[in-house]
Amino acid sequence: MRFAKGHGTENDFVILPDLDGTLELTPELVRRLCDRRAGIGADGVLRVAPDTSGRAKWFMDYRNADGGVAEMCGNGVRVFARYLAEHGLAPGPVFGLATRAGVREVTLHDDGDVSVDMGAVRTYGESAATMAGRRYAGLVVNVGNPHLACVLTEPVAGLDLSAAPEFDAATFPEGANLELVRLLGDDHVEMRVYERGSAETRSCGTGTVAAAVAVAGSAYGTWRVDVPGGTVRVTLTEETVYLRGPAVLVAEGEYRPH
């Protein structure tokens, strides 16, 4: 089984080219691939498959490290686009990709960044979660997948993200990503994230969008979001949201199922 390995601000993925759409990607296989000791190691898996809906040429089949299906992944879209471009599968520097959250237009920039039109973001008021014995209140944000973005006044570096958060089941029946956010200055925030199905990760693209929305409120503009794995920029407009950041391929090879 051929694979590639890539990351966006150290949110890392195993990429599986399935150009004829015949690979059976089971939860067990995803878990083995993402195992950092007995597998390749990753926060999730990106299967490159033909889009059978006619919306785009390629479909990003994204799975979290626990094998669960996810609707959207902002860092994953950028890495997916980088893979297509470097393997001659992309029609140009600007093209659309099909995801479970809809088609996302991506742009590959000369400096190595990839930007994604993330579409309209929806907010649904406030909720709260408990993690490691502490309660966090925040804004419910949908970026194609569910988030609870909590704006804090203290540095996020010392917070305990070792345990899975407990959410309000009525608000998040299928769980959510939890972002802990602090304002650092004008249009500048820092963030850590506990991702549904993957535990704490070094970055979360949709999470950075949720963080910017939670801090910005109804204001528009571009926000710098610092995460443990690097920096991305989120531009909020009246119609949509753009996410821009690096996307890097680090290895390719052959996986031996076991």
The DSSP secondary-structure symbol of 164 reads -
Alpha helices in the chain (DSSP H): 27-34, 74-86, 205-216
Residue type, 31: R
Q: Which residues are catalytic?
A: 73, 204
Distance of CA 163 to the CA centre of its chain: 20
- Please state, in angstroms and rounded to a whole number, the distance separating the CA atoms of residues 38 and 207: 28
In the chain, count of helices (H) and strands (E)? 3, 18
CB atoms within 10 A of CB 213: 24
DSSP string covering 188-257: EEEEEEEETTTEEES--HHHHHHHHHHHHTT--EEEEEEETTEEEEEEE-SS-EEEEEE-EEEEEEE---
